[in-house]
Amino acid sequence: MPRPRARDLGLPFPGTPGPYNAITDVPGVRVGFCTLTDPAKKMRTGVTAVLPRDEAGNPQPVWAGQFTLNGNGEMTGTHWIDDAGYLIGPICMSNTHAIGAVHHGATQWMIRHYADFFANHHGWAMPVVAETYDGMLNDINALHVTPDHAIAAIAAARGGPVEEGSSGGGNGMIAYEFKAGTGTASRRVRLAGQDYTVGALVQANHGLRDWLTILGKPVGKLMTEDTWRKKEVGSIIVLIATDAPLSALSLRHIAKRAAIGIGRGGTPSGNSSGDIFLAFSVANPGPMPQEAQPFVTQTVLNNEVLDPIYLASVEAVEEAVINAIVAGVDVPALKPAGLIVRAIDTDKLAALFRPT
């Protein structure tokens, strides 16, 4: 039985979400999971895959921008995104020691999926793979994740509702000392006479309980049971998707706003936290630069009108983090032995927001 999402608990998040309140509200965006849980093997990990476009045979650039708030982590392919302003293929997330295996699997998938392109060009794959550390709940040094698990997550990608909490790469993750993991949310925006959608997906593994703030309430100071950390040692990956036509520069601006979204939850982005963000737009589909004419024409929104999209991005990220937390369930830790990482008490959380 799925746990209620944050809005189901009566938390009054601002803004208007899409039909699924998920990154999959952005047309064409799909999310897949490969979730690996086996207590006998001390295994609680997995892979999350996000496919920006529904395409086959030949890749189309997905315009993108990236921002790193604190760099104690990894997201591959970002140097090229910074220089070229686009990515191709899936975006995957897993645990820290799975970067290589997931990159290998995503590369295999791209070679097969874009067979025509690789056959007719000097094609090369540069997948985006990001990580957060799940070593408290998973034997991370056992290297449970293989390339086939990445391929399985990509193959499982679907539109519609997104499984939150202990799904895919979020399986072994903790946020604000509560069990957390995968979370998502979306916003609808009316801009320049058109309707657009902004969606966020997070792999939340960050924060100390004392920091946790939800819609302005000091929830972490009011729910202090079962805390154990003295120092933050986690990270958060944020993906922001939209169908608004945006330049790579504007998308980098939007990726920066993820910092405000996670900051609303209370984190100051600790020194040990890898807080790494990526924004992409599915608008302006077209051929790869190798296949394009000398002049490329695109329609993009003027930066001067983007404040509503900035706000939607902040709101969606803020809510996605809380959705990741309220989806959590109690899980025993590997280190230290005997510790149970607790789910947030959703009844107590809901009571904090009831009118008095």
pTM (predicted TM-score): 0.97
H/E element holding 83? helix 78-84
CA-CA distance, 123 to 118, in Å (whole number)?
5
- Is the pLDDT score of 289 beyond 90? no
H/E element holding 249? helix 248-264
CA-CA distance, 36 to 22, in Å (whole number)?
23
Catalytic residue check, 275: yes
Choose the catalytic residue: 166, 273, 281, 313: 273
pLDDT score at 121: 78
Contacts of residue 270, defined as CB under 8 A and 6 or more positions apart, other chains included, come to 70, 206, 208, 231, 232
pLDDT score at 355: 87
pLDDT score at 238: 98
The amino acid that residue 55 corresponds to is E
Cα 266–chain centre separation: 18
Q: Which residues pair with 94 in a beta bridge?
A: 131
Identify whether the C-beta of residue 201 lies closer than 8 Å to the C-beta of residue 322: no
pLDDT band, residue 337 (cuts 50/70/90)? confident
pLDDT score at 288: 82
Give φ, ψ of 65 to 5 degrees.
Answer: -145, 150
What percent of the chain clears pLDDT 90, i.e. is strictly above it? Answer: 88
pLDDT score at 1: 66
Catalytic residue check, 235: yes
Helix axes of 248-264 and 307-326: crossing angle, nearest 10 degrees: 40
**What average pLDDT does this structure show over 249-260?**
98
Choose the catalytic residue: 235, 247, 281, 313: 235
pLDDT score at 137: 97
pLDDT digits (tens, 9 = 90+) for 298-323: 899 999 999 999 999 999 999 999 99
Enter the CATH code of domain 7-351: 3.60.70.12
Catalytic residue check, 186: no
Token pair listed for 187: 């916003």
pLDDT digits (tens, 9 = 90+) for 123-165: 789 999 999 999 999 999 999 999 999 999 999 999 999 999 9
- Is the pLDDT score of 56 beyond 70? no
pLDDT digits (tens, 9 = 90+) for 105-116: 999 999 999 988
- Is the pLDDT score of 43 beyond 80? yes
pLDDT score at 99: 98
pLDDT digits (tens, 9 = 90+) for 322-334: 999 999 999 999 9
pLDDT band, residue 354 (cuts 50/70/90)? very high
